[in-house]
Amino acid sequence: MKKKRMLSLLLAGILALSLLAGCGDKAPDNTQAPSTQAPSAQTPEDTKAPAAAPVELNVVTSYGGDDGNRKNYENAVASYEAATGNTILDASSSSNEEWKAKVLTDFETGTEPDVLFFFTNADAEPFIKAGKVVDIAAIRAEYPDYAGNMKDSMLAVASDGKSYAVPSSGFWENMFVNTKVLADCGVAVPGPDYTWDQFLTDCETIKAKGYAPIACSLFEVPHYWFEFAVMNNGTLENQLDVPAEATDAVGQKWAAALGDIKDLYERGYFPANTLTATDAETVQLFGDGDAAFLIDGSWKVNHFVDNYGDALENFAISYVPAKGQRTAGQAIGGISMGYFITKKAWDDPAKREAAVAFVEHMTSDDVMSTFVTTEVTALKNGAAPSGLNPLQQSAADANANITGVVGAVQDTITSEAKMDLFGNVQNVVTGAMSAEDAVASAIALN
Amino acid sequence: MNASSTLYKRKGPLVIFLVPAFLFLILFLYYPFVQNIINSFSDITGLGAPASGLNTPWYANYVTLFSDPKLRTALGNTVLLTVCTVVFQVGIALILALLVDSIRVGAQLFRTLYFFPIVISATALGLMFNLIFLYNGGMLNQLLTNLGLITENIDWKDPSHFMATMFAPVMWQYVGFYFVIMITGLNNISQDLYEAAALDGCTGLHRVRYITLPLLRNVLCTCLVLAITGALKVFDLPWVMFGAGMPQDQGWLTGTYMYDQTFNRGNVDYGSTIAILIVVLGVVLSNVANRVFRPRHDI
C-alpha cells in the first residue's frame, strides 16, 4: 500500500514537472564572456576568425517567397555564414499587410527576431516607441563604423528624431509592359508623355484583341493603382497629404482616385477574376503574355529575370499614364526599408556582435551591389551593378526620364486604416460601397 | 475489502493525479478565456499591446457585434456550413460506410483511401484545391474546357460559385473521419441479427432500414454532435483558399473574421468579442445537438 502511494506521488510529481517544463524561459547564456575583440568596422573578411563561439541569429526579412532578390539574399546570407561560422535562422516572407502585422505581433509578444529587415516609415513606429530596437547612434557608440558606408542624410528618421535602420536599396514603382502583347495589338510602348486618354484608347484596343489590358489583383494589391490614381488627381507636392475627413480636399482626391479605379474596372480592363485572384496569379497572367500592363515595383524586375529569363525582351519598364497636373514621368519611389537590430539581440552578449556583423555584411558596398540594379541607394560610394539585362536596362532608361519621385502615400497611414481602405477597393469598384464611404471608413481608423 | 477498493476510497492520490491537468486547464483555457472576456470590454489596438482602458461605452464592441454586416455574413455562412456538414459530411460518410461494410474484398483499402485526407494538413489541402479551382490553367477549368462543357473559364471563387468552392474541400476532408467511426459502429453489429433477418426475408435496403440504422443510432448521434461542433471551428482551409472575406466580403466565416480582426487589423478587443460569440454559439449549438441527438442506452 505504501509502495502504491509512493508510486502515485512519484507519477503525479513527474506529471506536474512535465507540465511546468515548457514554462521555463531559458535565460540567455550570459556566462559566456563578452567578446574582447575591439569594436571596429566589421567586414566579412574581418570576421573570418570569430572570437566567440558561433551563434544562431533569427532574421526576418521581406526577401521571401517570390521576391526578385531572394537568390541574392540567399547568397549574401551564405557568404556571411561561411565567413563567420554563425548560422542564420531565416524566417523571411513576401511583404504584404499580413506579414507586417505578423512582424508587429512578434514584437508585442516578445518573439521578435534578432535582426529585422522592415519598413522604416510609420509601420515601424510601434516597436520603435516600445524601445524594442536599438538606434544607430547607440550602436555606433560601441561600433563607430556601423553604417559608415551610408550617407547619414539618407537614414530614415523616426518620430523620436533618431535613426534606427541601416537602409538597403531603394525602390521605384512604375508600369511594366508586355511588349509582345502591345505589338500584337498594334499599340506603341508608352513614353514619358503618356496620357490617361491614350491609355484608355490603348486598353480598348487590347481588350478587343482578347487580352486583359491590366494585370492586377484588386483583391490583394490595389495599392499600386491607388498610389498613381491619387497622384493623377493631385500633385507630386501634395501626394503624401492625408485627409482629416472624407469631405476635405484630400479626402475628395482619394475618393476621385478610387473612382478612376472603378472606371477601369467597369470598362473591363482588369482580368475577369481581379476580385478573386492573387497577386501571383495576375503577375503570371502578365508574364505569360495574357495581359499588357502591370504596375509594380523595382523588386519585381528580378522576378521576371528568374522566371522569364529567356524572354526578357518581351518586357519593358514604361510610364504610368498621367492626367491632371501630373506627367507620366512622375513616379513613386524612395528608400523605405532597412535593417534593424533588436534590443533583444543587442542585450545578448553572444548575439550582439553577430547581429552587428550581419547588418554590416548585408549593407556592405559589395553585397548591396548585388541587390541593386536601377534603384537608388544611400551608399556613399554608390552601388556598382554590373551587366544589366534588357529589362534592367529598360528600367534604367525609364528612370532616366523620371522628372519627380515621391514616397508611397499608403506609408503615411496606420496599418489598420490601410487594410480597411484597400480591403474596400473591391466593394467600391463593384458599387457595394461609395468611394467617399471607403475613405471615411479608413480615416476613422487612422 | 481488497487493496484496490481501498485505493479508490482514499481520494488523496486521485486528487494528486487530477491537479496537473486541472492546473493545465486553468493556465491555458480558463485564464485566457476570462482574459478574453476582459479584453472584449477594453481598448486594445495591437496583439500583445496593453489595453488603454475600457471602451466607451464599455460594451461598445457588443453593440458593434449586432450592427456589423460582415459578422452577419460570417454567422450566416457558418450556420450554412454547419448544415452542409451534417447533411453532406455525415451523410456521405454513412453511405460510404454502408457500401464498404457490404463488400468483402477491398474494404481495408477503401478505409485507408477515405481516411487519407484527414492526415494531410489543411494548408496543403488548401493549396491543392487552389490549383484545382484556379481561374487560368486550373484543373477543373481545363477539364471542363477539354470536355467542351465550357468555352470561357469559370471563376470558381466569384460570388456565384464561392460557396461550393469553399465548402466542398471542407466536406471532403472530414468525410473519412466520420466514415471510420461509422465503420467501427457497423462492425459492432452482430452478424447473427443479419442472418436471422435474412431467414425472415429481410435483405438489401430493408436490412439497412430496420437493422443497421437503428443499431447505428448512437454512433450517428456522436458523429452529428462532432460534426456540428467541428463546423463552428473551421478556419484553416477556407483561410488558405479565400483569405480575407473573398469574394467581396461575402466569404467570411466566424473563425476567419475573428482572425482577420485580431491578427491582420490589430483590432484585438473586437476580435475577442467575436471569439466570445463563437464560444457562446458553440455551447448553445452543441447543447441543442446533444439534446436532439441524445444517445439511447437501450441500444
Q: B35 pLDDT exceeds 70?
A: yes
Q: How far apart are CA A251 and CA A238, in angstroms?
A: 12
What would the CATH number be for the domain defined by A172-333+388-445? 3.40.190.10
The answer to whether residue B5 sits within a structural domain is: no
Is the CB of residue B286 less than 8 Å away from at least one CB of chain A? no
Q: What value, to the nearest 5°, has the Cα angle with vertex A61 and ends A75 and A64? A: 65
How many CB pairs below 8 Å do chains A and B form together?
102
Cell numbers describing residue B209: 432500414
Closest among A39, A43, A136, A70 to A363, alpha carbons compared: A43
Q: How far apart are CA B72 and CA A171, in angstroms?
A: 41
Chain A interface test: which of B8, B16, B158 (most A C-beta within 10 Å)? B16
* Residue B188 burial (CB count, 10 A): 11
Run of H or E including A105: helix A97-108
* The total number of structural domains that make up chain B: 1
Tell me which amino acid residue B76 is.
Answer: G
Contact criterion met (CB < 8 Å) for B248 and A415: no
Contact criterion met (CB < 8 Å) for A275 and B17: no
pTM equals 0.78
Beta strands in B104-251 (DSSP E): none
Matching residue, cell 523588386: A299
Q: How far apart are CA A398 and CA A391, in angstroms?
A: 10
Establish how many alpha carbons lie within 13 A of residue A112's alpha carbon, considering only the half-sphere containing its beta carbon.
29
Q: How far apart are CA B213 and CA B278, in angstroms?
A: 33
Chain A interface test: which of B6, B19, B64, B135 (most A C-beta within 10 Å)? B135
Containing structural domain, residue B264: 51-292
First to last CA, chain B: 34
Chain B residues lying within 8 Å of A219, measured CB to CB:
243, 246-247
| pLDDT of A29 | 41
Contact criterion met (CB < 8 Å) for B247 and A276: yes
Chain B nearest CA to A98, separation (Å): 6
Chain B residues lying within 8 Å of A430, measured CB to CB:
248
Tell me which amino acid residue A383 is.
Answer: A
Looking up residue B225, the CATH number of its domain turns out to be 1.10.3720.10
Backbone angles phi and psi of B129, in degrees to 5? -70, -30
User: What residue in A sits closest to B251 (Cα-Cα)?
Assistant: A276
Question: Who's near B116: CB < 8 A, 6+ residues apart?
Answer: B176
Q: For residue range B172-202, what is the model confidence (pLDDT) as tens digits?
A: 888 989 999 999 888 888 888 888 888 888 7
The answer to whether residue B201 sits within a structural domain is: yes
Q: How far apart are CA B130 and CA A351, in angstroms?
A: 41
Is the CB of residue B243 less than 8 Å away from at least one CB of chain A? yes
Give the SS3 label for residue B95.
helix
- Which burial class, exposed, middle or buried, applies to A7 when counting CB atoms under 10 A from its CB (0-12, 13-18, 19+)? exposed
Contact criterion met (CB < 8 Å) for B23 and A19: yes
Contact criterion met (CB < 8 Å) for B263 and A101: yes
Q: How far apart are CA A56 and CA A354, in angstroms?
A: 9
| pLDDT of A4 | 63
Higher local confidence (pLDDT), B211 or B64 = B64
The answer to whether residue B180 sits within a structural domain is: yes
Sheet architecture: strand order including A166-167 = A87-90, A56-60, A115-119, A337-341, A166-167
The answer to whether residue B196 sits within a structural domain is: yes
Run of H or E including A404: strand A404-406
Domain pair A55-170+335-371 / A172-333+388-445, same fold? yes
Q: For residue range B54-72, what is the model confidence (pLDDT) as tens digits?
A: 988 999 999 999 999 999 9
Contact criterion met (CB < 8 Å) for A290 and B136: yes
Establish how many alpha carbons lie within 13 A of residue A399's alpha carbon, considering only the half-sphere containing its beta carbon.
19
User: What residue in B sits closest to A109 (Cα-Cα)?
Assistant: B48
Backbone angles phi and psi of A42, in degrees to 5? -100, 125
| pLDDT of B297 | 67
Contact criterion met (CB < 8 Å) for B263 and A276: no
Is the CB of residue A109 less than 8 Å away from at least one CB of chain B? yes
Chain A nearest CA to B238, separation (Å): 13
Chain B interface test: which of A273, A274, A425, A429 (most B C-beta within 10 Å)? A273
Pick from B47, B49, B155: CB nearest A272: B155
The answer to whether residue B32 sits within a structural domain is: no
Q: B44 pLDDT exceeds 70?
A: yes
Higher local confidence (pLDDT), A187 or B115 = A187
Rg (CA), chain A: 25
Chain A interface test: which of B136, B155, B162, B166 (most A C-beta within 10 Å)? B136
Chain A, residues 268-307, CB within 8 A of chain B, namely 271-273, 275-277, 281, 284-285, 290
Chain B nearest CA to A306, separation (Å): 21
* Contact present, B227 and B286 (Cβ < 8 Å): no
Q: How far apart are CA A344 and CA A301, in angstroms?
A: 35
Closest among B141, B135, B262, B75 to A105, alpha carbons compared: B262
Backbone angles phi and psi of A338, in degrees to 5? -165, 175
Contact criterion met (CB < 8 Å) for A273 and B249: no
DSSP characters for A248-294? SHHHHHHHHHHHHHHHHHHTT-S-TTTTT--HHHHHHHHHTTSEEEE
The answer to whether residue B137 sits within a structural domain is: yes
* Contact present, B214 and B142 (Cβ < 8 Å): no
Chain A residues lying within 8 Å of B17, measured CB to CB:
8, 11-12, 15
- Which burial class, exposed, middle or buried, applies to A307 when counting CB atoms under 10 A from its CB (0-12, 13-18, 19+)? middle
Pick from A19, A415, A427: CB nearest B249: A427
Tell me which amino acid residue A419 is.
Answer: M
Pairing of strands A115-119, A56-60: parallel
Query: Domain residue spans in chain A?
Result: 55-170+335-371, 172-333+388-445
ipTM, two decimals, is 0.79
Chain B residues lying within 8 Å of A15, measured CB to CB:
17, 20
Chain B nearest CA to A392, separation (Å): 28
Matching residue, cell 442506452: B297
Pick from B3, B20, B48: CB nearest A109: B48
Query: Which residues does chain A have with pLDDT short of 70?
Result: 1-52, 384
Q: Identify the band that residue B53 occupies on the pLDDT scale cut at 50, 70 and 90.
A: confident
Cis amide leading into B57 (omega within 30): yes
Three-state secondary structure readout of A308-369? CHHHHHHEEEECCCECCCCCCCEEEEECCEEEEEEHHHHCCHHHHHHHHHHHHHHCCHHHHH
Is the CB of residue B157 less than 8 Å away from at least one CB of chain A? yes
- Which burial class, exposed, middle or buried, applies to B296 when counting CB atoms under 10 A from its CB (0-12, 13-18, 19+)? exposed
* Contact present, B71 and B260 (Cβ < 8 Å): no
What would the CATH number be for the domain defined by A55-170+335-371? 3.40.190.10
Chain A nearest CA to B199, separation (Å): 56
Contact criterion met (CB < 8 Å) for A19 and B47: no
Tell me which amino acid residue A210 is.
Answer: G
Is the CB of residue B261 less than 8 Å away from at least one CB of chain A? no
User: What residue in B sits closest to A16 (Cα-Cα)?
Assistant: B20
Contact criterion met (CB < 8 Å) for A109 and B267: no
Establish how many alpha carbons lie within 13 A of residue B32's alpha carbon, considering only the half-sphere containing its beta carbon.
10
Quickly count helices (H) and strands (E) in chain B.
17, 0
DSSP characters for A410-426? GGGS-HHHHHHHHHTHH
Contact criterion met (CB < 8 Å) for A276 and B17: no
Is the CB of residue B46 less than 8 Å away from at least one CB of chain A? yes
The answer to whether residue B160 sits within a structural domain is: yes
* Contact present, A435 and A222 (Cβ < 8 Å): no
Contact criterion met (CB < 8 Å) for A432 and B248: yes
Is the CB of residue A217 less than 8 Å away from at least one CB of chain B? no
Closest among A265, A257, A266 to A324, alpha carbons compared: A257
Chain B nearest CA to A199, separation (Å): 25
Cell numbers describing residue B276: 466570445
Is the CB of residue B136 less than 8 Å away from at least one CB of chain A? yes
Chain A nearest CA to B232, separation (Å): 24
Give the SS3 label for residue A237.
coil
Q: How far apart are CA B2 and CA B202, in angstroms?
A: 51
Task: Name beta bridge partners: A405.
Answer: A331
Task: Name beta bridge partners: A171.
Answer: A334
Matching residue, cell 477539364: B143
Chain A residues lying within 8 Å of B248, measured CB to CB:
275, 426-427, 430, 432
Pick from A11, A108, A276: CB nearest B46: A108
| pLDDT of A46 | 45
Closest among A160, A65, A132, A61 to A358, alpha carbons compared: A61
Run of H or E including B183: helix B162-187
CA B58 to chain centre: 33
Cis amide leading into B238 (omega within 30): no
Closest among B217, B205, B211 to B298, alpha carbons compared: B217
Chain B residues lying within 8 Å of A287, measured CB to CB:
none
The answer to whether residue B111 sits within a structural domain is: yes
* Contact present, A417 and A409 (Cβ < 8 Å): no
Q: Supply the DSSP symbol for A153.
A: G
Is the CB of residue B117 less than 8 Å away from at least one CB of chain A? no
Closest among A63, A116, A68, A62 to A374, alpha carbons compared: A68
Chain A interface test: which of B264, B267, B268 (most A C-beta within 10 Å)? B264
Q: For residue range B79-109, what is the model confidence (pLDDT) as tens digits?
A: 999 999 989 999 999 999 989 888 878 888 8
Backbone angles phi and psi of A381, in degrees to 5? -90, -5
Cα separation values, B117 from A270, B122, B149, B167, Å: 36, 9, 29, 15
User: What residue in B sits closest to A102 (Cα-Cα)?
Assistant: B263
